Amino acid sequence: MTNPSARTSSPALSTPCDSIVPQPLTCPEDASARHVGSRQALIDNLPYMAMILLGAAILWGAVGSPFCRGFLAAGYVAYGALGALWIMAFVCPYCHFHGTDLCPCGYGSIAAKLRSKKECEDFPRRFKRHIPVIVPLWFLPPIVGGIAVCGEFSWILLGLMAVFVVNSYVILPLVSKHYGCRSCPQKDTCPWMGGCRTAG
Ligand code: SF4
């Protein structure tokens, strides 16, 4: 399904959402990019997985008590996994790609197993409402690590935080915007891509 027929043959794409979707698939290049294989989905997920592992390592290194460091690191990993599930449960059902193999990171197919498809017109509102649930993942490790480094300097912790910042604040958004979401027909209505500036 790496041709334009992939789009027209998908039942999930014959919905009222078509009214909000530009028609970019007249371009063969875009059309070939529509089907998302496991390799592309893995690449799209790598920066998020790296952020979770780096964040857990920072929390582990920032806390002295063996019990607290294990609790914090494991809690952060669990938060990262639950955050992804939260997005699948509360954002993806409103996405045009729910239940299809067109989702850049593969969440769309998993989301279909959790919840049925909802009205796509509500996507920008749901996105803005639920994205804040996972935002602390970006801030907790630098804050806790920064406090620890100020109290007792450590090059290892500082290095981990530098890699965390580059991965989470530079690489992850770049991969999302210029790889995973680059050819998404919903990008004009997605707040992550700067769309829906007038959405409430
Ligand atoms: S494109 Fe985004 S919102 Fe749509 S199914 Fe994939 S992860 Fe969910």
Tens-digit pLDDT profile for residues 78-135: 999 999 999 999 999 999 889 988 888 899 999 999 999 999 889 989 999 999 999 9
- In this structure, the residues whose C-beta lies within 6 A of any atom of ligand 1 are 91-92, 95, 97-98, 103-105, 107-108, 111
Q: Residue 8 falls within a domain, yes or no?
A: no
Per-residue model confidence as pLDDT tens digits over 181-198: 776 767 777 766 665 544
Relative to the CA of 95, which ligand 1 atom is closest?
A: 4
pLDDT top residue among 10 and 71? 71
| Cβ atoms of residues 120 and 96 within 8 Å | yes
**CA-closest residue to ligand 1 atom 6:** 103
C-beta atoms surrounding 20 within 10 Å: 17
Residue 107 maps to a domain? yes
CA of 199 to the centre of ligand 1 (A): 18
* Ligand 1 centroid, distance to 92 Cα (angstroms): 5
Q: At what angle do helices 66-90 and 136-151 cross, to 10 degrees?
A: 160
CA of 100, closest atom in ligand 1: 5
The Å distance, Cα 134 to ligand 1 centre, comes to 15
* Domain assignment present for 45: yes
Q: Would you say residue 26 lies in a domain?
A: no
Mean pLDDT of the chain: 80
Location of structure tokens 């390799």: 39
Instruction: Let me know if residue 13 belongs to a domain.
Output: no
Q: Which amino acid is at 177?
A: K
Of 91, 110, 175, the residue with max ligand 1 atoms within 8 A of its CB, to mutate for a pocket test, comes to 91
Closest CA to 168 of 132, 136, 146, 190: 136
* Residue with CA nearest ligand 1 atom 1: 103
55 in any annotated domain: yes
- What is the average pLDDT across 42-58? 95
Is residue 12, in this structure, part of any structural domain at all? no
Q: How many distinct structural domains can be found in the chain?
A: 1
Q: Is residue 24 part of a domain?
A: no
pLDDT in tens, 140-154: 999 999 999 999 999
Amino acid in the structure at residue 13: L
Q: What's the confidence (pLDDT) of residue 135?
A: 95
Nearest-atom index, ligand 1, CA of 96: 4
- How far apart are alpha carbons 41 and 112 in whole angstroms? 16
Please name the residues in contact with 87: beta carbons below 8 A apart, sequence gap of 6 or more: 107, 130, 131, 133, 134
Domain of 120? 34-192
At 160-171, the pLDDT tens digits run 999 999 999 999
Of ligand 1's listed atoms, the one at least distance from the Cα of 181 is: 1
54 or 23: whose pLDDT is higher?
Answer: 54
